[in-house]
């Protein structure tokens, strides 16, 4: 037997520098954190002062003013409608985008690349900015909100739909095309059934996201409950702010709850 000499390197890895990799990360992230604070001239005094104001504000929030319920329920429902319509339009267009952009069934690679770039762009631009753009284009109200959510959804759903289609077992598509089916029939009978769970699950997830966005879109004037939220803070009616916040919370939570139920059902 050769005398095997075990040195530190054999036990701990290649070099001391590499052994300390977690430390380098910790130092690097700390430096980034500190640089960000210094860069913003954050004033500690102001934070403390703000804390005191926050306590006052919280105090004014209670009890929440539920008498405004009748006034805010309309905008709240509008927020839901905006989210649902935005998601609907988004899903429908994303299906087209997904089918045409999926590498295994795309009619042409150029189209695939064009659509993938298009969806990368629509998801890179935040919904809020889309809303601002559409407000300029079509005016204030729920319509720009719907359009903003729809196009922002295409960015995400188009991508994940295409990826789900790319993951389908090739054999199923082959078998259906071997019966003499047309491309449309192959899409509807081999591809759609196979991706249904992913499709439903991602669409519901997107509805979830869109409800949250939709609540915020009102802030920039794209309809819904966001506007009420801003108005109440401007009027320093924090008891109303709390009511609206609770309502938004209940809406988001309810949609998430229903989504989870549906997702568990569809496999």
Binding site for another protein (CB under 8 A): 169, 171-172, 174-182, 184-185, 187-190, 193-194, 196-197
Q: Decide if 218 contacts 229 (C-beta within 8 A).
A: yes
Looking at beta carbons only, is 104 or 196 nearer to another protein?
196
Looking at beta carbons only, is 179 or 260 nearer to another protein?
179
- Closest separation between CB of residue 103 and another protein, Å? 17
**CA pair distance 11, 214, nearest whole angstrom:** 55
Looking at beta carbons only, is 53 or 170 nearer to another protein?
170
Measured in degrees and rounded to the nearest 5, phi and psi for residue 192 equal: -60, -50
- Burial level of 177, CB count in 10 A (0-12/13-18/19+)? middle
- Closest separation between CB of residue 200 and another protein, Å? 12
Looking at beta carbons only, is 125 or 176 nearer to another protein?
176
What is the CB neighbour count within 10 angstroms for residue 265? 8
Looking at beta carbons only, is 126 or 183 nearer to another protein?
183
- Closest separation between CB of residue 249 and another protein, Å? 36
**CA pair distance 189, 181, nearest whole angstrom:** 9
**Per-residue DSSP letter, 20:** T
**CA pair distance 252, 118, nearest whole angstrom:** 29
Using alpha carbons only, give the angle 62, 65, 66 rounded to the nearest 5 degrees. Answer: 130
Tokens 């429908």 sit on residue: 92
Looking at beta carbons only, is 114 or 266 nearer to another protein?
266
- Closest separation between CB of residue 152 and another protein, Å? 29
Q: Decide if 116 contacts 101 (C-beta within 8 A).
A: yes
- Closest separation between CB of residue 177 and another protein, Å? 7
| Tokens coding 189 | 């009978």
Looking at beta carbons only, is 40 or 178 nearer to another protein?
178
Looking at beta carbons only, is 28 or 197 nearer to another protein?
197
Q: Decide if 160 contacts 99 (C-beta within 8 A).
A: no
Measured in degrees and rounded to the nearest 5, phi and psi for residue 155 equal: -55, -45
- Closest separation between CB of residue 196 and another protein, Å? 6
- Closest separation between CB of residue 192 and another protein, Å? 9
- Closest separation between CB of residue 156 and another protein, Å? 24
Whether residue 20 is preceded by a cis peptide bond, meaning omega within 30 degrees of 0, is no
């Amino acid at each position: 037997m050769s005398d095997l000499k075990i040195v530190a390197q054999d036990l701990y890895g290649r070099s001391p520098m590499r052994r300390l990799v977690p430390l380098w990360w910790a130092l690097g992230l700390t430096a980034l954190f500190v640089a960000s604070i210094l860069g913003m001239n954050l004033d500690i005094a102001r934070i403390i002062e703000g804390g005191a104001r926050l306590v006052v504000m919280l105090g004014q929030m209670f009890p929440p003013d539920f008498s405004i319920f009748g006034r805010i329920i309309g905008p709240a429902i509008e927020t839901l409608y905006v989210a649902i319509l935005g998601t609907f339009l988004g899903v429908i267009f994303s299906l087209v985008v997904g089918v045409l952009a999926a590498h295994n069934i795309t009619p042409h690679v150029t189209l695939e690349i064009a659509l993938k770039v298009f969806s990368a762009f629509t998801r890179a631009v935040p919904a809020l900015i889309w809303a601002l753009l559409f407000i300029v284009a079509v005016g204030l109200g729920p319509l720009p909100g719907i359009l903003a959510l729809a196009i922002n959804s295409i960015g995400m759903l188009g991508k994940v739909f295409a990826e789900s289609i790319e993951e389908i077992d090739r054999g199923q598509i082959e078998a259906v095309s071997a019966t003499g089916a047309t491309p449309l029939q192959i899409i509807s009978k081999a591809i759609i059934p196979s991706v249904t769970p992913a499709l439903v699950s991602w669409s519901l997830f997107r509805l979830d996201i869109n409800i949250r966005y939709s609540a915020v879109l009102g802030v920039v004037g794209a309809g819904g409950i966001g506007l009420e939220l801003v108005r109440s803070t401007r009027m320093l009616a924090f008891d109303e702010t709390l009511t609206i916040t609770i309502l938004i919370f209940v809406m988001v939570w309810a949609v998430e709850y229903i989504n989870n139920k549906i997702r568990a059902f569809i496999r």
